[in-house]
Structure 1
Amino acid sequence: MIRHDALDALPVRAALPGLRAALDGPGTAVLVAPPGTGKTTLVPPALAGLLGGGPTRRVVVAEPRRIAARAAARRMAWLLGERTGGSVGYTVRGERVVGRHTRVEVVTTGVLLQRLQRDPELAGVDVVVLDECHERHLDADTAAAFLWDVRETLRPELRLVAASATTDAEGWARLLGGAPVIEAEGTAHPVEVVWAPPPRAVRPPHGLRVDPALLAHVASVVRRALAERSGDVLCFLPGVGEITRVAGQLGTALAQGDLGDVEVLQVHGRAPAAVQDAVLAPGARRRVVLATSVAESSLTVPGVRVVVDSGLAREPRVDHARGLSALTTVRASRAAGRQRAGRAGREAPGTVYRCWAEAEDARLPLYPSPEIKVADLTAFALQAACWGDPGASGLALLDPPPGGAMAAARAVLTAIGAVDADGRATERGVRLARLGLHPRLGRALLDTSGEGAEVVALLSEEAPREYGNDLVSAVRAARRGGDAYAQRWRTEVRRLRAVASEGAAQAVTSKGAVQAVASEGAARPPARDAGSPAGGGAGAGDDRIAGRVAALAFPERVARLDGGSYLMVSGTRAELAEGSALRGAPWIAVAVADRPVGRGHARVQLGAAIDEDVARLAAGALAGEAEEVRWSDGDVVARRVERLGAVELAVRPLQHADPLLVRGALLEGLRQEGFGLLRWTPDALVLRQRLTFLRLHLGGPWPDVSDEALHARVDEWLEPELGRARRRADLARIDAGQALGRLLPWATGEAARLDELAPERVAVPSGSRIRVDYADPERPVLAVKLQEMFGLTETPRVAGVPLLVHLLSPAGRPAAVTADLASFWKDGYRGVRAELRGRYPKHPWPEDPATAEPTRHTTARLRR
């Protein structure tokens, strides 16, 4: 019996006429309805004609999460007075509850994508509702783009609804061809905001790490909320690990009798179905529900009057440089904060305790990052390739995929044989896309002929931390486990074995793909049944298959022990935790890794030991052998290297290296260590200084002889000597001065003026020819004994630049420095004469040096 009283109380009912009119007209609509209005549970049965009035239609509702899909289907069925599988059913990965009379089917967006790839027309479907569009999950954005493509090219009668509590309505309206925006008024009750920041500063989140001090504070705020307010408490935390920690702290308070009669529940994607059902039903006792962002939308938790918001969320991130991708903890957006707070006002006035300062709120991001901007796009790129648009350039997307992320995704897909050189999906790629797995894991499943189903299932969903970082031990723990994760794992193993065996006879190995496992027993059906806990014995092939799966799925993370850490073939170093069972293994395959804050190396979260044969098989696309000639440790090193990516497998000396490679290595040596590697005679050094001087003061055609310029023109001045060199010692025999001479402007004839414009020596009044020091190109120096300059009143010049004259004592020590001899004779000489005449009485010290006779000799010799 239909529960009309409950249906009539849903505010979205008022928007149904406008929504029906939009679907009967343009056929598309954007429905904006606040939380609690019934958009998820009333609109689909109404559009399907299950509530009377309106045509009979088959409606598919896409939800971003499995828990939301199940909950929405159960709620709709309850409103209709039925059980799921009747008029309303649902399909999620590994579970399908649909009957022959089902007219509303709730699916995850991933399931919808699979259907679109198999049957682009969606035969028999009249309306598709994309729920919670504001969350901007990648699968949802992709499904919307595919659906619009279907409507534009194959089925113009297919009706589309983009529904969300808070969304970019105008953007979605444009995306759906100018769809009408239908807004439903909400009846949300007022929510009081209480700012409850930690008493002391906490460390910001990094990766999956959250400061334990913040979690302790969140637990204390929950206790405060229980004491200050009535009703159930919904607490938002970023992940399962944080939920477990806070639950433990609340459990301690419960055991001590500090919380009274309170039930603590945990809701997340891994929670058992019974717990999920208990959360979504009214409780007999007061409850504290610890939840991830899954409770932000789609789910109504009855009885909640208080929300405690940690202010954190998890978003996918990918580090293309290190080949690492994982969830990371971030500050929740303001939009998420509004969604979370709204949960407290669904049924009555409520309160939200925000675990951050009010001043910080304005600095939070407005909206969560669209997954297409930050996530690993390998699966998306494969979906687009199978759809016939490898670059996704023709897809109707709110945000285009970043070019770098798409390039990285195509590289992975090419390596596993999923796409060809043009980026188009191969037969193997189409099969991978239909497995319902990330392409990496799909590759491992196919290439182990299904034998790796247990390991693939474990890697397809984050395993509990207590399972450890050894993949083999984790699989064995899942076999033994009686927790919700282990139950889902067994279900997924059965599904994967089934899909792996489907069409196994038709499996093809595309060009570039690794051959399906050719080891012993690869095609043999597994003896164990993962669906039975009794299958928990340690299989003899566990080590082999776990390592093979991890290596096939993540070939760039195959790593060899190198010193105290592991070097991945991608070039990233990884470290194992203390006490890891993998320590000391010569080779490992890293399945899950992160990078701790402040560390340059990755940290292995989950991996398996392998042997070199498996490493070569899995990462074969990265294998190669090449001649390497480089400058290393101060000389040319020539060798033939067999590599697996960044990992050196074998090295042999190279006797007859390619001259061009040798030349490149020598040039690198000159860049690293400078042109001091050449033979610089005193004359060569002076020549370079003179040319530097001329370049500075006269410019062209005099050459620039700085290191940068000499590197740029190395072909002009250092050949053929460089071409004949083979090692450092050969460079030391090259006369740098002779080589520099090639840069002089011979063609214009200016080279002949070198000695005129920048002479090595200049004549002074005494008749001596004194060397000019060009070490400082701004002002060359002439160091000459004072008596040799008597009679000269004008400072000597070179290329029009006055020399800086260092006037020396008879002992050759500086007595004065001047760039104006006339002024010195007039003003400075008298003091120098007074100081030095008594010390050097044998040398002339005339009163008027400007008219005195210059000399190199003593007074006695002058008398003779």
Structure 2
Amino acid sequence: MRSEWSGLPVRHVLPELAAALDEYGVAVLTAPPGTGKTTLLPLALAGLLDGPPTRKAIVAEPRRMAVRAAARRMAWLLESRVGAEVGFSVRGERRAGPDTIVEVVTTGVLLQRLQRDPELGGVDVVLLDECHERHLDADTALAFLLDVRATLRPDLRLLATSATADAAPWARLLGTGEDATAPIIHASGTLHPVTAIWAPPPRPTAPPHGLRVDPAFLSHVADVVRRALAERHGDVLCFLPGVGEIGRVAGMLAGLDPGGVQILQVHGQAPAHVQDAVLSPGRTRRVILATSVAESSLTVPGVRVVVDSGLAREPRTDHARGLGSLTTVRVSRASAEQRAGRAGREAPGTVYRCWSRAEHDRLPEYSRPEIALADLTGFALQAACWGDPAATGLALLDPPPPAAMAAARRTLHALGALRPRAASTGPDTRAGAGQPGDPELSDAVVTDRGRRMSAVGVHPRLARALIDLGPRAAEVVALLSEQLPRDAGDDLVAIWRSARRGGDGFSARWRREAERLARAAPREDGSPAPARHTDPAGTRTIGPIATRNDDHLAGMVVALAYPERVARRRGGAYLMASGTAAELPPGSRLGTAEWLAVAVADRPTGSATARITQAVVIDEEIARLAAAPLYGSGDEITWRIPPGQRQGDVSARRVERLGAIELSSSPLRDADVRPAVLAGLRTEGLSVLRWSPEAAALRERLAFCRRALGEPWHPVDDDSLVGAADLWLEPELSRARRRSDLERIDVAAALLRLVPWSARLEETAPERIEVPSGSRIRIDYSGERPVLAAKLQELFGWDEAPSVAGVPLVVHLLSPAGRPAAVTGDLASFWREGYRAVRAELRGRYPKHPWPEDPLSAVATRRTDPRR
């Protein structure tokens, strides 16, 4: 055992931790970075520090890079080799043997092991590292482990470790009684001070949008790295949101002295030799460009300076459209502190933050947990295989969002991984078991097919394609399960062929994963799956895929994995079976295809159209086969508004559809279209009718009667008229077959059907009224009160205007030219007080018209004064 372990601060809490585990079986350890919680603690739990081992331990890490690094570090401390006392397991690679006492695994591998062996036979203690990062697999694994302790293995010891001090939620979760909490042990390390330097861009830059980061901001980050190299000593660790940004900043830094500065690019898919170089002391000064994988876990030696872009990537899932994507977000304050702490693990350090102090104060306190953001299909399958499809009985810090779980269960039903408990008493392994229209039961049970899908170790959609098509699909499934190179095009078949030829790190990883998946494609009897496919309805078997080419195989894999993303050309874009419009990048070689199977697509924020990132050309046969659960045919009688138009019409057709994609149609001649006509009225409102001036005026009279008298007068606002269409538009409505029939309806005659049988409209709200001159003047009912507009000379002798339905008329007195001269609701008062001023103003302008001094005694007239 190397002596370096004695300098790790976590050694001081080992007795307290051992006592807590002996008494409670569970504990929470908080320890700042660099204290040895990832490397020394597992060795102590296994008894490897001071004698022969006493317990077998599993250490679960959220990332593969951390798994390999922790195993190497522990083996180094023991002066041993990886695979002896300390081993590791990641997806597709295991280095452990019969003498392995401490095994470091990813949380995904731990989940698979728990599903196979819930009792974890031979394991005495499980350490879940970096719980504060809130990865979904880690949350799920802890929930399963707590269930195991409660039901099968009360002797199993659990330790959750975190680099943050917020341990109370974990203590409550691990507590063994109703009100109990697990003991919390705090390990304090040598906390070297880290000086924060605020380094915002000198000029405003565009905020991140989706995956796009303003190039001007990345140029600023590169400038800050150069500044840090000039102002400080030691290696520089620069945090960036993704692989693309790492590559662009690396390009901007290419002019640095190659003999004096080494630039390393670190991310989840970085080659092993790069990861080794990062975790080993450098011979020259280093600039390490990294994603969030470098936030926690093992110490990166030599780092004295951190340059933080303040950006990270989070998943976003559009459950309604079945689209998922990553988006660029601002980091939380907790993540910013984690990143800054990397500069002070070995000595005092400096963090250059590429934002202002004011912006820092507005950052969220913590990052949102993955369970609140991610596609939960894989989680729902894990929970179902565990026996809790609704995940209501799992001990989780945050429950899964109901909408996300509902979408996940619908997907699993469609893949045949779940079935309602009451649907059948026997095993159900049909690929189409649980169609999208089946009842969504919270007590659904996993099928044998679902268990096989879970064991594959990829997303259930990809597992479905592998199980249906067999080992030859493994290469395409492996391609879809990996993060593709940033310069990969949108043609998935071309990417596949390039990976076959390539000798780079991506091709090597892809080939290893393809070999693993080929071995993991069993039939029910455990033998390799045949290259045949049973359609999702379970009704027929398709011949060997060996008779077709790579394009056919890739198309089948993608279409089976994502049937709702089967897409057909519509104009210059595509319509997916899910109903989402999608577009290819400009200049795409796939742009002339009639059909596509879309492997990767996202919907940019604020856009109604999805963006296709990778796809395969397919034909209609593959589309029909893969998306068979979405197939439907029948009569469609609707009010249809064509794309790009504002007006619709009745559409009566017999239609074949694949989800939202129309395959074929033929007109229906004698269908009952009345529901569609009513739908048109509801959709477009009363504008589908032709409103003559007479009809509009009649509607205003009826509206006045409703306002003035209430019941039994019917309301005539838009909603009321549409809702009562069968009351006033029959029989014309029943005879209508298309929009033009509605436009020919005599709306005025139809509205008269709304007049109560006990009332006479002409008596209640007359259309016209006779004035003293003998003229019959039309009443305007468009306002709150009815209006009579008449020439002043026609009202001589009329000392009071009549009322309509008890409401006095408002009189608009007009000049001889028909222009308003006065408005009054009290005609007698006008003659006494207002007439003299109007007379004085107008009689000189209109001398041929009578302007008597006493209008009440004058004779009303429509004519001029002949004497003048």
- Structure 1: how far apart are the matches of 2:471 and 2:333? 45
1:195 maps onto 2:198 in alignment: yes
Query: Residue 402 and residue 742 in structure 1: after superposition, are their counterparts in 2 closer, same or farther (change >3 A)?
Result: same
Distance in 1 of aligned mates of 2:257 and 2:43: 43
Query: Where do 1:555-570 residues align within 5 Å?
Result: 555-570=563-578
Confirm or deny: 8 A CA contact 1:195 1:354 kept in the other structure: yes
1:240 aligns to 2:243 (yes or no): yes
* Deviates further, 508-517 or 33-42: 508-517
Q: Distance in 1 between matches of 2:27 and 2:307?
A: 34
Q: Is the 8 A contact 2:111 2:137 kept in 1?
A: yes
Corresponding residue SS for 2:587:
coil
Question: Equivalent of 1:650, from 664, 680, 685?
Answer: 664
Task: State the partner residue of 1:606.
Answer: 614
Choose from 477, 482, 492 the match for 2:503.
Answer: 482
1:5-31: CA deviation from partner (whole Å, max 9, x where unpaired): 211111111111121112111211111
Between 107-116 and 232-241, the greater mean CA deviation after superposition: 232-241
1:553-597 CA-partner distances (Å, limit 9, x unpaired):
111111112221222122222222233221211111111123446
**Residues 7 and 679 of structure 1: CA distance in aligned 2, closer, same or farther (over 3 Å):** closer
Q: CA deviation at 1:835?
A: 6.3
Range 500-509 or range 597-606, more displaced: 500-509
Distance change (3 Å), C-alpha of 1:785 and 1:261: closer
Say if 2:469 and 2:533, in contact at 8 Å, map to a contact too. Answer: no
Q: Give a deviation string over 1:293-344, Cα, whole Å, max 9, x none.
A: 1111112111111111121112211122432212222112111111111111
Matched, 1:638 2:669: no
In the alignment, residue 466 of structure 1 is paired with which amino acid?
Answer: D
Amino acid at match of 2:803: R
Report the counterpart of residue 747 of structure 2 in structure 1: 736
Alignment partner, residue 309 of structure 1: 308
Whether 1:131 aligns to 2:138 is no
Unaligned stretches of 5+ residues in structure 1: 525-539
Q: Tell me, in whole angstroms, the C-alpha distance in 2 between the residues paired with 1:364 and 1:843.
A: 79
Q: Is 1:364–2:392 an aligned residue pair?
A: no
Letter in 1 for 2:771: V
Deviation at 1:46, TM superposition (A): 0.8
1:129 aligned counterpart, secondary structure: strand
Residue 544 (structure 2) aligns with: 521
Q: Say if 2:479 is the partner of 1:458.
A: yes
Q: Give how far 1:684 is off.
A: 4.4
| SS across alignment from 2:521 | helix
Residues 298-337 of structure 1 aligned to structure 2 (within 5 Å): 298-337=297-336
Per the alignment, residue 758 of structure 1 pairs with 765
What CA deviation, in whole Å up to 9, does each residue of 1:200-249 have, x standing for no partner? 22222222222222222222222222222111222222222222222222
1:146 maps to which residue? 144
Amino acid at match of 1:264: I
Partner residue, 2:556: 548
Change (3 A) 1:470 1:523: closer
Inter-partner Cα distance in structure 1 for 2:863 and 2:245: 93
Matching residue of 2:737: 726
**Pick from 421, 433, 444: which aligns with 2:454?**
433
1:408 paired residue number: 407
1:352 alignment counterpart? 351
The question of 1:572 aligning with 2:599 is answered no
Equivalent residue letter for 1:796: P
The alpha carbon displacement at 1:519 in A equals 4.7
**TM-score normalised by the chain length of structure 1:** 0.91
1:824 aligned residue (823, 826, 830): 830
Pick which of 818-827 and 288-297 moved more.
818-827
Instruction: Please list, as runs of the form range in 1=range in 2, the aligned pairs for 1:21-40 lying within 5 A after superposition.
Output: 21-40=19-38
C-alpha displacement at 1:105, in angstroms?
A: 0.8
SS at match of 1:722: helix
Q: Is the 8 A contact 1:512 1:621 kept in 2?
A: no
- Partner secondary structure for residue 301 of structure 2: coil
C-alpha separation between the residues in 2 aligned to 1:211 and 1:362? 22
Deviation at 1:791, TM superposition (A): 2.1
Question: Which position in structure 2 is the counterpart of 1:533?
Answer: none
- SS for the counterpart of 2:554 is helix
Please, which moves more after superposition, 811-820 or 76-85?
811-820
SS in 1 for 2:82: coil
One of 758, 762, 771 as aligned partner of 2:778: 771
- TM-superposed deviation, 1:365: 1.6
For 2:857, what is the secondary structure of its paired residue? coil
- Separation of aligned partners in 1, 2:170 and 2:534: 40
Contact 2:536 2:626 (C-alpha < 8 Å) held by counterparts: no
* TM-score, reference length from structure 2: 0.91
Q: CA deviation at 1:720?
A: 3.9
Residue in structure 2 matched with residue 281 of structure 1 by the alignment: 280
Q: Which amino acid in 2 is paired with 1:759?
A: P
Q: Distance in 1 between matches of 2:819 and 2:277?
A: 98
Unaligned runs of 5+ in 2: 176-180, 421-440, 642-646
Report the counterpart of residue 297 of structure 1 in structure 2: 296
C-alpha separation between the residues in 2 aligned to 1:334 and 1:808?
73
Instruction: Report the Cα distance in structure 1 between the residues aligned to 2:184 and 2:693, rounded to whole angstroms.
Output: 84
CA 1:842–1:586 in 2, change beyond 3 Å: closer, same or farther? closer
Report what 2:61 is aligned to.
63
Counterpart in the other structure of 1:162: 160
- Rate the CA distance shift 1:684–1:825 in 2: closer, same or farther, 3 A: same
Structure 2 residue aligned with 1:530? none
Counterpart mapping for 1:39-78 below 5 A:
39-52=37-50, 56-78=54-76
Contact 1:196 1:221 in 2 (8 A): yes
Partner of 2:252 in structure 1?
249
CA pair 170-510 structure 1, distance change in 2 beyond 3 A: farther
**Residue of structure 2 in register with 1:799 after alignment:** 805
Q: Shift of residue 832 of structure 1?
A: 4.8
Offset of residue 860 of structure 1: 7.2
Residue 788 to residue 290, structure 1, CA distance change in 2 (3 Å): closer
Deviation at 1:458, TM superposition (A): 1.0
Offset from partner CA, 1:640-681 (integer Å, 9 cap, x none): 221112221112112122x2xx22322233345543544656
Question: What is the letter of the counterpart of residue 760 of structure 1?
Answer: E
- Matched-pair contact (CA < 8 Å) for 2:466–2:521: yes
Contact 1:448–1:523 under 8 Å retained in 2: no
**In structure 2, what is the Cα distance between the partners aligned to 1:477 and 1:541?**
16
- How far off is 1:345 after superposition? 1.1
- Give SS of 1:335's match: helix
Name the amino acid aligned to 1:693: F
Does residue 620 (structure 1) correspond to residue 631 (structure 2)? The answer is no
Contact 1:448–1:516 (8 Å) recurs in 2: no
Number of matched residues?
A: 832
Residue type of the alignment partner of 1:584:
T
Cα 1:727–1:12 shift into 2, 3 Å: same
CA deviations on 1:418-467 (whole Å, 9 max, x unpaired) are 11133321111111111100011111111211211111111111111233
Shift of 1:768: 5.1
The alpha-carbon deviation at position 841 of structure 1 amounts to 7.1
For 2:493, which of 458, 472, 483 is the aligned residue? 472
SS at match of 1:430: helix
Per-residue CA deviation, residues 45-103 of structure 1 (Å, 9 max, x unaligned), is 11111113797111111100111111111111111111111111111001111110111
Deviation at 1:847, TM superposition (A): 2.4
CA change 1:814–1:268 in 2 (3 A) is closer
1:694 aligns with: 705
Give yes or no for contact 2:200–2:355 (8 Å, CA) kept in 1: yes
2:599 aligns with 591
**1:708 pairs with one of 719, 722, 729:** 719
